[in-house]
Amino acid sequence: MATQMLLDYLPKFEGLLPTWQLIVATMAVFNTIQNFATLKLTRRLYTGVPSSSITALQARTFAAWTITSAVIRGYAAYNINNKTIYDMALLSYLIAFGHFTSEICFFRTAKINGAALSPVIVSTTSLIWMLKQYEFYVKP
């Protein structure tokens, strides 16, 4: 019964992309909470700088971005056929990819480790998946 209740809340579209959007959005909500609660995981992400330079203000700013992306991706999960929302979600992954890649490659504030590699993998996978499935979900 509990499983059926959970299934009732999943997006009602063909394919797995809408469910993926919901999973990523849900993970972002938990990441937002941890950014408001502690600096521990944020410091694990930005290991290229002294931990004292990772401030509560930076973590809260990161939390604001993360909850914004969670809202966009959550809307995309349930409105995957809406071109505007699809495009916004796609761009949110492009922004995330750009941020983490630049922090690793150019600014060197993050190093290639699990904490930094995870968002790069999620954003890259999501970008490619969404680009490949664009015409399937967004009908002219």
pLDDT the model gives residue 10: 87
- Burial (CB < 10 A; 0-12, 13-18, 19+), residue 54, is buried
> Rounded distance, CA 73 to CA 86, Å?
9
Question: For 104-115, what is the mean pLDDT?
Answer: 93
> Rounded distance, CA 6 to CA 30, Å?
18
pLDDT the model gives residue 2: 74
Tokens of 53: 């330079």
Can you give the pTM of this predicted structure?
0.93
CA 10 to chain centre: 18
> Rounded distance, CA 74 to CA 30, Å?
13
- Which spans in 9-55 are helix H? 17-37, 40-45
**Enclosing H/E stretch for 114:** helix 114-132
Quick check: 3 pLDDT over 90?
no
Residue percentage of the chain with pLDDT more than 90: 89
> Rounded distance, CA 33 to CA 88, Å?
23
Does residue 38 sit in helix, strand or coil? coil
Q: What's the Cα-to-Cα distance from 25 to each of 49, 57, 62, 120, 131, rounded to whole Å?
A: 28, 23, 15, 15, 18
Split at pLDDT 50, 70, 90, the class of 17 is: very high
pLDDT the model gives residue 64: 97
Q: Which of 122, 133, 107, 124 is nearest to 47 (CA)?
A: 107
Q: Domain locations in the chain?
A: 16-137
Quick check: 45 pLDDT over 70?
yes
